[in-house]
């Protein structure tokens, strides 16, 4: 954190999966953090470690180390006010429900595209120029090259989620050019680890806890993807913000490993010690717009010295431990 | 038009520059056309030829050949109702004011991104599955390859306008995947010809008509771009819709020729028989995010049999003739 003195940081989606892990890390590193979250998918429980900083008053400026603001990114007034005095925004809040995009097509538009526009405008009004943004490997659609590099060919979107993240990236880049912002954009694979609360590892675990004899699987189980541990993800984000200083810094963030849905099921079943009947549905893909294969070329961020420290099996194992310890997550939708 | 029976067509921005030319052409080809336009930059004067079809009742269905609806794309109710019974949408309405994006950053978001989402939703509700869309060569940002092909590398946006068009393309593609739409996306260079009402040829002509002794130029005049005549543009659009039948059909549309701003000034000054003092301002570029060089690789659409039939000099000459004959355009903002 030496080369980039963040100063005061605002984290949108700071009560979410990746966001709350980042909050913990930045507080530990000594930063002052404002969490801005509407708690729709985020949870105050994810901030239970962080909340102890809520009480700590620093000697220098007698201010709290952690502010938690319940607010929606569509509430521009609250958002703009919440950013006052901040120096850096980590914009992690998003509708991350890739799968159900076509059931409510306005959700990605509002919660991702328009929300990101609101973040950028609130930053502009507050004269904050630095933003880190969680994009997605889904933005490549169905790429022709694997592992897929950041400068892959002009992508064709296959999901409303991917389309909305592409729109966000474009907006952020235009603000860099037009308003002299600086941006770090991260195209994530799926993330696993503590505070994981959403995705097929949870769905499977939830199903198997309820009925260990049967497991419903969307698609034929051959969909093969890369996964990253949330701690490695946070390390990657901070490594890039520290060490890459272009106007626009775009990084893939994933592992060189992939795993098929079927192989992840084996790990889960072993861990839970169950042997369910596997029931496949929906053709070769999990859902419309699902990518059958995701593997990102992460050599760009590796050149900055970052590397992943967890195997996918590791990450799944830790995620299961976390879910089993936090049954409330398996009870929620 | 044989392979694609459009049936009833809705043209958003049908009173605009390209839109009104398309209206004339489709009416001439015998189609039933609904114009949907908010007349903010479009003009009823551009529909003066078309309006004679307003009175023609076809024998088959006793209906008008042309409907003109004054409506905004943000008025989703009116839009949805206006699309009833249509089979094909040409979505050409847009905020095309590339230059002033940073003065009102919400304009491109609303009038391009959200408007396009509204068009797609109105289509979905009306079970219309085919859309042609006017995108832009600006979407490539500052490409590394010239002429720039459709599958150039992942673009970095340099303007809010480009960013909004990228967002539109992504949305349209996601609707193709998610809702089984079929799309023809056209990345235009700058268009010239009849009904031209916006851009530097107009700005220069306007200035010189007011004061033939002085011409103010944004940038150093070396910005070099490709221009296409609107009739060639319309031919290109219809050629692609007729002859390309993928789920998503993306085409660059331009000429192989380029011209510098300085050379276009020479043509204009010759034509108007004036010798103004040239006053440059604003550095090497016209404005923040202006591309210093635009040249698109149009071999994809040429392989369908299309070609441009006007030189740039031709196109500028015709545009000047049109502007001089239509002085009201030089009086408007």
Alpha-carbon gap: A273 to the closest alpha carbon of chain B (Å): 37
Closest alpha carbon to A88 in A149, A33, A22, A143:
A33
**For B138-149, b where at least 16 C-beta lie within 10 A, e where not — what string?**
bbbbebeeebbb
Sort out which chain A residues have CB atoms less than 8 A from B160's CB and list them. 171, 174, 178
SS3 (DSSP) at B306: coil
Mean pLDDT of A94-107: 83
Give B52 or A73, the one with higher predicted confidence. Answer: A73
d(CA B236, CA B187): 11
Polymer length in residues for chain B = 333
The predicted structure's pLDDT at residue B5: 63
HSE, side-chain direction, 13 A CA sphere, residue A260:
11
> Are A163 and B173 an interchain contact pair (Cβ–Cβ within 8 Å)?
yes
- Please give the CATH number for the structural domain made up of A8-192+227-255+295-308: 3.40.50.720
pLDDT band at A291 (very low <50, low <70, confident <90, very high): confident
In whole angstroms, what is the distance from residue A320 CA to residue A324 CA?
6
Distance between A282 CA and the closest CA of chain B, angstroms: 14
Query: Which region holds residue B282: left if phi is over 0, alpha if psi is between -120 and 50, else beta?
Result: left
User: To the nearest whole percent, how much of chain B has pLDDT over 70?
Assistant: 94
Above 80 in pLDDT, residue B96? no
Paired tokens of B218: 């944004």
Other C-beta atoms lying within 10 Å of the C-beta of residue B247: 12
For residue B33, give how far its alpha carbon lies from the nearest alpha carbon of chain A (Å).
28
Q: What is the CATH number of domain B8-193+228-254+295-300?
A: 3.40.50.720
* Cβ atoms A162, A136 nearer than 8 A: yes
pLDDT of residue B65: 87
- Mean pLDDT over residues B317-326, rounded? 95
pLDDT at A333: 59
What confidence tens digit (pLDDT) does each residue in B219-237 have?
A: 899 989 899 999 999 999 9
Torsion of CA A274, A275, A281, A286, to 10 degrees: 50
For residue B314, the SS3 value is helix
Distance of CA B279 to CAs B217, B276, B287, Å?
A: 6, 9, 15
Tell me what pLDDT residue A292 has: 79
Nearest CA in chain B to A114: B109
What rounded mean pLDDT belongs to chain A? 92
Whether residue B59 has pLDDT greater than 70: no
Q: What is the pLDDT of residue B290?
A: 73
- CB–CB contact A114 B117 (8 Å): no
What is the pLDDT averaged over residues B277-303? 86
Q: What ipTM score was computed for the predicted complex, to two decimals?
A: 0.94
Residues of chain A with Cβ-Cβ distance to B120 below 8 Å are 105
C-alpha dist (Å) from residue B31 to A5, B82, B182: 63, 17, 20
Residue B58 pLDDT grade (very low, low, confident, very high; cuts 50, 70, 90): very low
Question: Which residues from A are below 8 Å from B74, CB to CB?
Answer: none
A247: distance to nearest CA of chain B, Å?
Answer: 11
Average pLDDT of span A55-67: 63
Candidate from A40-49, A202-211, B38-47, B100-109 with smallest mean pLDDT: B100-109
Contact A192, A228 (CB under 8 A): yes
Q: Where are the domains of chain B?
A: 8-193+228-254+295-300
**What's the confidence (pLDDT) of residue A96?**
76
Q: Is A333 helix (H, G, I), strand (E, B) or coil?
A: coil
Task: Give A227's strand partners.
Answer: A190
pLDDT band at B55 (very low <50, low <70, confident <90, very high): low
Q: Give Cα B261 to chain centroid, integer Å.
A: 20
Cis peptide bond upstream of A221, omega within 30: no
Using a CB-CB cut-off of 8 Å, the residues of chain A touching B124 are 105
Q: In this structure, what token pair is assigned to residue B327? A: 């002085």
Beta strands A277-281 and B227-229 are: unpaired
Lowest mean pLDDT among A44-58, B69-83, B103-117: A44-58
* Per-residue confidence band for B284, with pLDDT thresholds at 50, 70 and 90: confident
Looking at A102-111, A120-129, B153-162, B246-255, which range is the least confident one?
A: A102-111
Confidence of residue B61 (pLDDT cuts 50, 70, 90): low
Nearest to B217 by CA among B293, B294, B292, B285: B285
What is the C-alpha separation between B147 and B281, in angstroms, rounded?
28
What would the two tokens of residue A92 be?
Answer: 């992690």
pLDDT per residue over A307-322, tens digit each? 999 999 999 999 999 9
Å from A99 to nearest chain B CA? 11
Say how many CB pairs under 8 Å bridge A and B: 126
Q: Which residue from A106, A163, A173 is facing B157, i.e. has the nearest CB?
A: A173
- pLDDT above 70 (res B332): no
Task: For B130-152, write each residue's pLDDT tens digit.
Answer: 999 999 999 999 999 999 999 99
What DSSP character marks residue B165?
H
Mutant choice from A148, A154, A248, A249 vs B, greatest count of B C-beta within 10 A: A154
d(CA A34, CA A43): 15
Is residue A56 pLDDT above 80, yes or no? no
Q: In this predicted structure, what is the pLDDT of residue B51? A: 85
**pLDDT higher than threshold 80 for residue A272:** yes
Residue among A121, A157, A178 minimizing CB distance to B174: A157
């Amino acid at each position: 954190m030496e080369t980039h003195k963040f100063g005061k940081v605002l984290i949108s989606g700071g009560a979410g999966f990746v966001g709350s892990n980042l909050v913990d890390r930045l507080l530990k590193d000594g930063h002052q953090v404002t969490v801005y979250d509407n708690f729709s998918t985020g949870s105050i429980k994810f901030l239970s470690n962080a909340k102890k900083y809520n009480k700590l008053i620093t000697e220098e400026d007698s201010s709290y180390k952690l502010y938690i603001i319940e607010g929606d990114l569509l509430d521009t007034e609250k958002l703009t006010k919440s950013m006052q005095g901040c120096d850096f925004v980590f914009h992690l809040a998003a509708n991350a429900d890739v799968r159900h995009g076509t059931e409510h097509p306005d959700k990605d538009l509002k919660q991702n595209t328009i929300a990101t526009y609101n973040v950028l405008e609130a930053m502009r009004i507050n004269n904050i120029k630095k933003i880190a943004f969680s994009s997605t490997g889904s933005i490549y659609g169905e790429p022709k090259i694997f592992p897929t590099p950041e400068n892959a060919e002009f992508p064709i979107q296959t999901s409303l989620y991917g389309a909305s993240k592409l729109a966000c990236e474009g907006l952020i880049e235009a603000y860099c050019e037009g308003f002299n912002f600086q941006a770090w954009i991260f195209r994530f694979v799926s993330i696993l680890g503590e505070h994981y609360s959403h995705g097929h590892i949870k769905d499977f675990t939830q199903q198997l806890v309820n009925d260990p004899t049967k497991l419903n699987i969307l698609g034929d189980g051959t969909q093969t993807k890369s996964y990253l541990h949330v701690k490695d993800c946070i390390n990657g984000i901070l490594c890039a913000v520290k060490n890459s200083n272009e106007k626009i810094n775009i990084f893939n963030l994933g592992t060189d490993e992939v795993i098929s849905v079927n192989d992840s099921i084996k790990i889960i079943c072993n861990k839970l010690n169950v042997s369910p009947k596997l029931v496949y549905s929906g053709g070769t893909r999990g859902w419309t717009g699902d990518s059958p294969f995701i593997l990102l070329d992460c050599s760009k961020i590796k050149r900055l010295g970052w590397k992943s420290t967890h195997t996918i099996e590791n990450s799944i194992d830790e995620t299961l431990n976390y879910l089993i310890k936090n049954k409330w997550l398996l009870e929620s939708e």
